[in-house]
Structure 1
Amino acid sequence: MAAQLLIFPFWAVFLLLLHQVKPDLDNGGELLDGFADGFAAPKRNNMSLSGFAAIDNSGLLCLTNQTSQAVGHAFYKNPIQFKNLSSGKVMSFSTSFAFAIIDEHGKRGGDGLAFAISPTSDLSGGVSGPYLGLFNPTNNGNISNNVFAVEFDTVLDPQFGDIDSNHVGIDFNGVVSNKSIEVVQFMGNDRAGLNLQSGTVIQAWIQYDASKNLLEIKVSTQSAQPRSVLLNYTVDLSTILLNSMYVGFSASTGSTASSHYILGWNFVVNNVESKNLYLDKLPNLPTVSKKNHTGIIVGVSVSGALVVILVIGLAFYYFRKIHFQKIQKADVVEAWEIDIGPHRYSYKELEKATNGFGDKEILGFGGFGRVYKGTLPNSDTQIAVKRVSHDSKQGLQEFVSEVASIGRLRHRNLVQLLGWCRRQADLLLVYEFMPNGSLDKYLFEEPKAILSWEQRFNIIKGVASGLLYLHEEWEQTVVHRDIKAGNVLMDSEFNGRLSDFGLAKLYEHGSNPSTTRVVGTLGYLAPELTRTGKPTTSSDVFAFGALMLEVVCGKRPINAKGLPEGLMLVDWVWEKWRVGAALEVVDTKMEGIFDEAEAVMVLKLALFCSNDIVEARPTMKHVVRYLEGEFVLPVEVAPPNAHYCTTGARGFEDFYFQSFPTTSSCFEKGSTWSSVGNDEDANIQAAFTSPLPLFNKDNGR
């Protein structure tokens, strides 16, 4: 054995054999039984045990006994070098182990065991139940955990996406499996069901091939390794594992209990092939006494029959009048919700986080309900919780399905949806908390603070970048449908983050949304929505144009107070632009301290986006490039509510290169815009072609 190990460099190979191989046998020889003491140092001293884990005199490792809400850990006491020191890449490794799960007699067992690779052997923070002793509600899913595990799960937990109560799953940093499968075993070309809770000794093989980034898992009730793979997954573990890690096992029970046993274990680094354990040479499982209690059971059943009959009426009444009410208030999980993500919070958890949804915690009111500030229990994570009410079950299902998709959105200028909760017809949405609140509180009447031009321009560019991601860069096209200053939140550094996807619609790239319900906020609604009822990315661009005008002018898109600037902000800005006084619309609260060229460019771009003609508006890709200075805006600006003649669909560039004919015109704008021919219109068109210095502060004042 020693001679064979010397053919490998000592830093590249680590062989952990808790079933120590006898010196006179090769790697295929007989392994000693269990974790019993061998010829050298006692093997039990090589293990770090915690919780309910213990090794008996026969060498049998018991992770949990028949105790509910229990956790047991058993890790090899020394860390193992997993990464190649020169390349930093995780080396291949393989392990095989034999285990058995024995349920409490006559009851459903729980919750399962896991083979784990962890940066520490101290998992005292892991809790019982579905977390398998590895994680807890606070750190579950946290990428900083750096934990890889293969779970053998025996309880169906829908909130964590479990497929059934008898599956193997591959977990990274949490108990929501990246991939899982129902447990079966292969015998030749045949496959048969395999119950993890049957008390049968099962051998598992876990092999990671670093050259292929391939993880394979096999199981069998035999000593020989099956040819067929139960579960495989392609992953580079170098992004998850650290240089040195601990290997071992963790198990837990919930409200009902099981005994989780490890009978034997083999682990090796820098080798893809797992060794086979000889099951007949491993320790025996403890015998379970099965006394015949038939007489007692029959006697108790007969004597209790009359009692059951007498109380059945009262029980029925209790169920209907009391228990039914409790069920109505519970967090019910239906079949269609099993695969919904992201994280599902319990109602009690959110209720505690928001101090019972107290009035003092209210951040604001939205079209769908109130928004509360909260702090998650057992952590300092601040959240914003929106309560959404829905009347119909079908509408709720569709809404939650969209929430599941939107929960996967990741962009620096979007407020991230952290999770959700359903209780009856209420849907609770959990978002990142934005400490500086919404943009509208800084623009309009009695602002909380005066935003500088640099902050405003940065907010505009940030929201534009977020919209581009929604429209073109994610896996589906997302139409927001409610872009406005009140839905732009600001983080601690006053970066603009687009929020409130309550009205968002998703559809595949290149297709059209089917909704015909007009929703949104007056002043931001594109005119075509009143005709078609179908939101598009172009209708989002229209709303973004209104948002840009809000930010530059510090005014709402519709002025209900009848101030001199008129009812519609875009019409007022256009009039100022038409007469060469565009800078007069810039928010006076900035006291004239702003970049004139940038302000004029944003106003011009806002007018483009605010055009009634869909084809006349740029896409968000163009908008971002204009804002970043990569593209130069067209010289001419058409009136926002102009109309033009066309024989076919044209894009933004076509419209602006062809929209000013020399002999006739197809533009209309009431009494202020007619055919090009009189002197006044000629002067207007000349103003369009003038360079930006036309709009200096001293010009025309």
Structure 2
Amino acid sequence: MFWKLLIWYLLLRLAASEGDIDFIYNGFHGVNISIYGAAVITSNGLLRLTNSFQQSGHAFYSIPLHFKPSHGKTLSFSTNFIFAMVPQYTNLTSYGIVFVISPSKEFPRGQLGPYMGIFNSMNVGNSSYHIAAVELDTFPNQEYGDIDDNHVGIDINGLHSITSAPAAYFSNMSGGFKNLSLISGEPMHVWIDYNSSQNQLNVTLSPINIPKPNRPLLSSTVNLSSIMLDNMYVGFASSIRTVPVYHYILGWSFKMNGQAQELDPLHLPKLPRIGPKKKSKLLTIGFPVIVVFFVLTAISYLSLIVRRKMKLVEVLEDWEHEYGPHRFSYKDLVMATKGFKDRELLGSGGFGKVYRGVLSASKMEVAVKRISHESRQGMREFISEIVSLGRLRHRNLVQLLGYCRLKRELLLVYDFMPYGSLDKFLFNQTISLLTWHQRFSIIKGVASGLLYLHEGWEQVVLHRDIKASNVLLDSEMNGRLGDFGLARLYDHGTNPQTTHMVGTFGYIAPELTRTGKPTKSTDVFAFGAFMLEVACGRRPIDRRLSSDQVLLVEWVSECWRTGTILAAVDPKLVLDYDVEEMELVLKLGLLCSHPLSAVRPSMRQVMQFLDRDAPLPKLSLDTLGAAILAEGHYEGSDVLPLLYSSLEQRFAISTTSVEESVLSGGR
């Protein structure tokens, strides 16, 4: 067996020395590759270079390649590989991936960060280092002349690129370049080709599902013969200093003196699903025993003081005893949020600040909302109502786990939603991070949760503040309706007692401005505006737009009236959506946000429309007229002006036709 392995190794060395190397790896199980540092080969065959803080990882073809035959000129070569950079935190970037040709496959003095674990501050830029590289960089390092935080560059013996360009690919169909986000988490294909007779190095980039473009992204004239030694290694390197990113290589093909074989995406290992961010571990090794003793003594003393103080300030009244299981201690929440430090802050709003926390007993991630109140009576009523809402159970509602009272302060504990609120995915990105399939699923999820609030619980719950910023996304990108700070409860068959108008402009039903009385129909109106918000990728009111587009509902109505309703679709979707589903959502959004409450469907009907269990109704003049008279809020001459305004502005109907419709509907 030993002699067979020796003969196999010598044959590989002979092939390499003759410049005939040709290999293709669809995954990296059992391949001839050496890995260093943080690099690992995962159970399904992925090559993962890095995945956490303060790491560098390298992976090289194990045998040195003979780049220079006897005539001394570097041979031509071709390689292509598929990579993916998957960030653990949205909108945070780190250093990228480098394809490297080097006289060594080990770098004991390599530093982290921009040095990629290969260079250090002393040898970077040294011409005797004999390194050629192609960088896929996602961090703008001004010291080395990076053009932006999303670029491709060709490097020789250092980090100053001899040429670079923003990440993009040439579209063979449109004839122009289209931008790509290297750190999008999606697999991408890279081709690197060197023609030794012309001293030309080309770098080409494209998404995984698109064939090799006709034009490269980078094309540079560079004589690698002055850089290459006789034996060189080829491979990949990556480095992370602060922001954790998963750097993967899915497949790799290389050929000396010819065109490398093309990788087939269907035969490559799949990327793993990335869940909620992991907790970092504190490094406590290295402290002298005496220092540890004094630190533990100080902590014990402080804990004793805090415990005594908490016993004095926490208040528990008789009416709260029945809600004991839902009550957290203030000390546990202080420890969970690390003392409500700003670095744990998730967001803030009108009701207070929200912090990320980890419960010490269960290691469960939670969101802790910190609310301050001045009125003691108001505090009691608020807690009573919150505890009632804490019994709500639905997969599309953010679960309220409990609360804590401390003098005039109230702390609410919720399930932790790792992806935060929906609005940042709709409005704060230059490209869409949500597919239409995800958006449609979120709409149906929120509709299901709202149906549960209206009909599925022992009491009717009016949310009163439905909007994208109050829809949170869990680890699987499911939409969950949250923030019940304005919610009101009442028994089935009765009416809510409140007459205060609350909510957010753009989502408030017209009748609320007159009566101040919330109903299930006013929730439906806000949900209709929310549907249009998700489909169109813009807020219900945007004063930066032209006067005819400021109000989203009116603009979509006009598009529907002129037969161009799909013109209102979010342009970031770039036509990648189901037309039938999109038209259903836009028309149903208009129906739900109709100015007349009697025309709006119930949430049960909305779910039937979304599930295609019932056809979407078509509005007619007769049904509109009858609906207004059935509204019950208008008497005598009040009904005609309202109907004129509604139908003339949104459906371009003459006032004569409107009057005939109302009279026929009234009869």
Calculate the TM-score normalised by the size of structure 1: 0.46
Calculate the TM-score normalised by the size of structure 2: 0.49
Larger Rg: 1
Higher helix share: 2
